[in-house]
Amino acid sequence: MRRAFAPWSNPDAKPLIRFDNVTKRFGDAVAVDHLSLDIFEGEFFCLLGPSGCGKTTLMRMLAGFETPSEGGMTLGGQNLAGVPPYRRPVNMMFQSYALFPHMSVEKNIAFGLKQDGLPKDQIAERVGEMLRLVQLEKLARRYPSQLSGGQRQRVALARALAKKPKVLLLDEPLGALDKKLREETQFELMDIQHELHMTFVVVTHDQEEAMTMADRIAVMDHGRIVQVATPGEIYEQPKTRFIAEFVGDVNILEGHVQGRENGLWRVKASSAEHPLTIDDPDEVLHSGQAVAIAVRPEKMLIHRDPPEPGAVNVLSGEVWDIGYLGDWTVYRVKLATGEILRVTRANASRFVDNPIDWDEQVHVTFAPDAAVILAE
């Protein structure tokens, strides 16, 4: 079911949320810079970027806490200009959770429903539903100060969901949780979103979180969107060096384009003896152009014996560091140029005969289609 969900590739699909050339300035600082973006109904959408990239400002404009300096936003076709936050069909889960400390869990969840003037029995019913959804039935009468971090996070989620908003905004929803709980909660959030068929917009600086949960990710930098794509595309086909380096680990080899042979690019890199062969058919490049070649560490192979003559993409160096992580082993290989490559190998079997050791001379290879060319 979920695989087929891709309204963004359907040119006739109407977006639920549209940012149209939005700019936000705080004094002289530009937080969001002429940004346009469409988000579709039912999407789990992640705004990813380093702190200060404008992602939170973008979300706060959608919630109505900030007003765009230029440009406009629509939600379900309705222009949001001048609509105060309390009249927007959008609810937010705050980074600090912002639970009202003087109200019990159920009062917190009922708060939004009360503002709509719903009758008491309907409120009670909906609150019960929400408590079941986040599995907090037993804690309904507790106060926020009496809850653990994970429980507070659930109350914040239930409170934001109670009004059945058209869009749920989540500002670093898992930032305050420890690693184990974070992973569990990621999947829970995905299940809840799927179950309720709701549109989720998540702000996060954690690329793993974005990769796990999102249908699409918008990577932001300096107030602009650098790339909007599915997690797979972001990881495997990063558009810029910034994205390649921000999402996951990457080895960057700098060089100059020599030409094209049989549909494959030939690139002369200082770190390799022979020109590299790269299969990246979509790039449009010209000879002599400076490029960066990005190769993910897990797509590189490490060998003790020299590869057969005629093998492509060979880099030679010595093992500088070895980090054993259990599931993976990380090798840091120092090339003759002084560059350090990061190569990972899955520890598929428990025992390895004669493993590669520190200071050994090794050869690192990668397949032509393992690399991406990034125009500098």
Choose which of 18, 55, 154, 159 interacts with other proteins (CB under 8 A). Answer: 159
Rounded Cα–Cα distance for residues 343 and 313 (Å): 14
Our finding on whether 86 is near other proteins (CB under 8 A) is yes
For other proteins, the closer of residues 14 and 120 by Cβ is: 120
Binds other proteins (CB under 8 A): choice among 14, 87, 120, 304: 87
Per residue, what are the HEC states of 205-237?
CCHHHHHHHCCEEEEEECCEEEEEECHHHHHHC
Could you tell me the CA-to-CA distances from 307 to 125, 303, 313, 364 in Å, in that order? Answer: 69, 8, 10, 9
Q: Judged by CB, which is closer to other proteins: 112, or 317?
A: 112
Interface segment toward other proteins; rule CB under 8 A; list 23-31, 110-118, 285-293, 357-365: 110-118
Span near other proteins by CB under 8 A; candidates 59-67, 218-226, 237-245, 306-314: 59-67
* Burial environment of residue 333 by CB neighbours within 10 A (0 to 12, 13 to 18, 19 or more): buried
Distances in whole angstroms, Cα of residue 303 to Cα of each of 71, 122, 347, 376: 55, 67, 15, 30
Choices 73-81, 86-94, 247-255, 277-285; region in contact with other proteins by CB under 8 A: 86-94
DSSP letters, 49-103, are: --TTSSHHHHHHHHHTSS--SEEEEEETTEE-TT--GGGSSEEEE-TT----TTS
Q: Does 154 bind other proteins (CB under 8 A)?
A: no
Single out the residue of 145, 262, 349, 354 in contact with other proteins (rule: CB under 8 A).
145
Per-residue binding letters, 63-82, with other proteins (x by CB under 8 A): xxx-----------------
104 binds other proteins (CB under 8 A): no
For the chain, first and last CA: distance in Å? 39
Q: Does 337 bind other proteins (CB under 8 A)?
A: no
Is 102 an interacting residue with respect to other proteins (CB under 8 A)? yes
- Smallest distance, Å, CB 103 to other proteins? 9
What's the angle, vertex CA 315, arms to CA 350 and CA 231, rounded to 5?
A: 65
Chain residues that interact with other proteins, rule: CB under 8 A: 63-65, 84-88, 90-92, 94-96, 98-102, 111-112, 115-116, 142-143, 145-146, 148, 159-160, 163
